[in-house]
Structure 1
Amino acid sequence: MKRWAFLAVSRDGAALAARCAKAVTPEIDAAVFTLEKYADETAAPFPGGKLSTFWAQAMADYDVLVCVMAAGIVVRGIAPYLKHKSVDPAVLVLDAKGQYVISLLSGHLGGANAAARLLAGRIGAAPVITTGTDVAGAIAVDTLAEQIGCTFTDFTAAKNVTAAILDRQKTAVVNEAGCDLSGVALPECLTLSENDGAKYRIVISERDDWELDPACEVQLIPRDIVLGIGCRKHTPADLIAGKIAALLKAHHIHPRALAVFATIGLKAHEQGLIAAAEQFGAAVEIVADDAIRKVQDRFDGSDFVERVTGLRGVSEPAGYTASHYGACVAPVVKGGGVTLSLWRRANSIKK
């Protein structure tokens, strides 16, 4: 669930912030903060008592900041804590009367544009969106990636191709991954044929061996790979990560395609496994023992593993289950106290 912080510095602003927070709950985890003199049961005082000392924490702890105050205050407040569009939270600004919801920062990757439209719709305000592709009725590379469940690593390439789309330059979409694009409104300059002489290309692929020119080409990577994993207790994170990287490389899978580490409850607090998942930006999913038992007979089991875990296997049955019984990309590999397998989600965007 997304975490939103509503910030206000006046009595009327605090009341509007509380109304906005109520309008987006319960689907949004909303918190309201204001000056101590305006705090009540609907709004907590700023930690430390001042907005100026709260900006750093707010930027780090929340996905969306909704600021009911002058835009200048917000710009000066957040400026020292800006890092990169890939990690900065969405920042919205509202006027004190609640007439406009301005998408100020992280419009695409951070979701500020979508958040502005959502909040404006709930409170009867007008969303103010200034990103070029939205105004021009085009689509940015990062927006396309989000809509089809992909990620990307080259922000310069994404910027260059987005600029080409905004300039209505012919851009080919090479959909090697078979993503479902039927629900995406593509501008006319985007073509699904790569053989029409387009200078610019968007390559949708989970492969790691594309050689692209960042001046005119960008790769979108579907995040649809599940890693089934088992390991000995206290296995170091670097050892785990190294074996995963080698397995991905052997099957030409881009590391960013890895979305989930699937394992059993016995490994839920295994620090090396958790740290390795963080290195790959993947979530850790714990598969229930009963779910493992339902499918473990499909795979080769181990008497030793059963003595230790009560289950015949970990990596393959966990990966298979967490992938919603998807296709095997790489059967189990064992070594160094680590067992790994790769699976593609059955309900993934790949055909």
Structure 2
Amino acid sequence: MTVTPTTPESAILTDAAGPVSQTPLLGQSLEALTEWVRSQNQPTFRAKQLHDWLYYKGIHSLAEVTVFSKAWREQIADVPVGRAQIHHRSEAPDGTVKYLLKLADGHIIETVGMPSPRRLTVCVSSQVGCPMACDFCATGKGGFLRNLATHEIVDQVLTVQEDFDQRVSHIVFMGMGEPLLNSDNVVAAIRCLNQDVGISQRTITLSTVGIPGRIRRLAAEQLQVTLAVSLHASNQALRTKLIPSAQAYPLEGLLEECRDYVKQTGRRVSFEYILLAELNDTPEHALELARHLRGFQSHVNLIPYNPISEVDYQRPSESRIRAFVKALEDQHIAVSVRYSRGLEKDAACGQLRASKVAG
């Protein structure tokens, strides 16, 4: 059954991906796999074999595990591994690849692989759609369907790794959805990607618009990930215009929760700020932002707007971007500009949507 909340608050109540006939094996720890192997009346060393074939060989079905006996493989043939199908693949001139992945229930999500000479970064989704409805973001225009299960998040990383034939080094939770509305499965996926796939938590970034109480809850997990908070405005009125859900979460309350996060984890917070021409990109906005962040262990990541067809926002000129950066630097605020990759294939920040290819 698909649960379709109409507000972020109702989405908070839905941390599961929905019922399935049998829990997929992907996303489970070696300990959990050991218990499953025992339940199948198999020797426990089979669990280590299964773990290796799941996370290092990237199997899509148990029939591929040739170290298992043929009789047992036939017996467990219907047990789902939990891998999605590549529904569509498109590559931008800069090498960025956008994937449409078809899940077991037929829903489509997007994942992006971003290669560079020394790393391979995956931008993963945490939900099918997004309930936050940010005005400048394509994903929110399509509404929200459901949360992703742990295995559906882990699968995205394995899919990119397999397609590029290269180890994934970095992960950003900046795809479809609001990760902290699916916090249980997202945290479980992070632990799996770290402990089972072997990706350092310090190379994982989790991006959130900010859900009341959820940043403190994340801090309690004591993960070593980077927290990126999407501000996109220097005051509450403008932020509410751009992010309707911000009406229920005043900017000062969000920043206070971020300060608590720094105290609890000892890790700085990165603030994402999309620059929209003549809307939030003046030096005055930069000074207002600086007043909020002064004395804060933080970093501002400026993102020049990536266009979508539904709205007519514009990207600022280079001179306006430089003026914004200078205003922050003059206030001793750490700042950088991120020019998104995959723009030509709608794979850049804010452009992800699951309806580009039908069928």
Q: Same fold (TM over 0.5)?
A: no
TM-score by length of 2: 0.24
Q: Which has the higher contact order (CA 8 A, sep 6+)?
A: 2
Would you tell me which structure has more strand in proportion to its own residues? Answer: 1
Q: Return the TM-score normalized by structure 1.
A: 0.24
Higher Cα Rg: structure 1 or 2?
Answer: 1
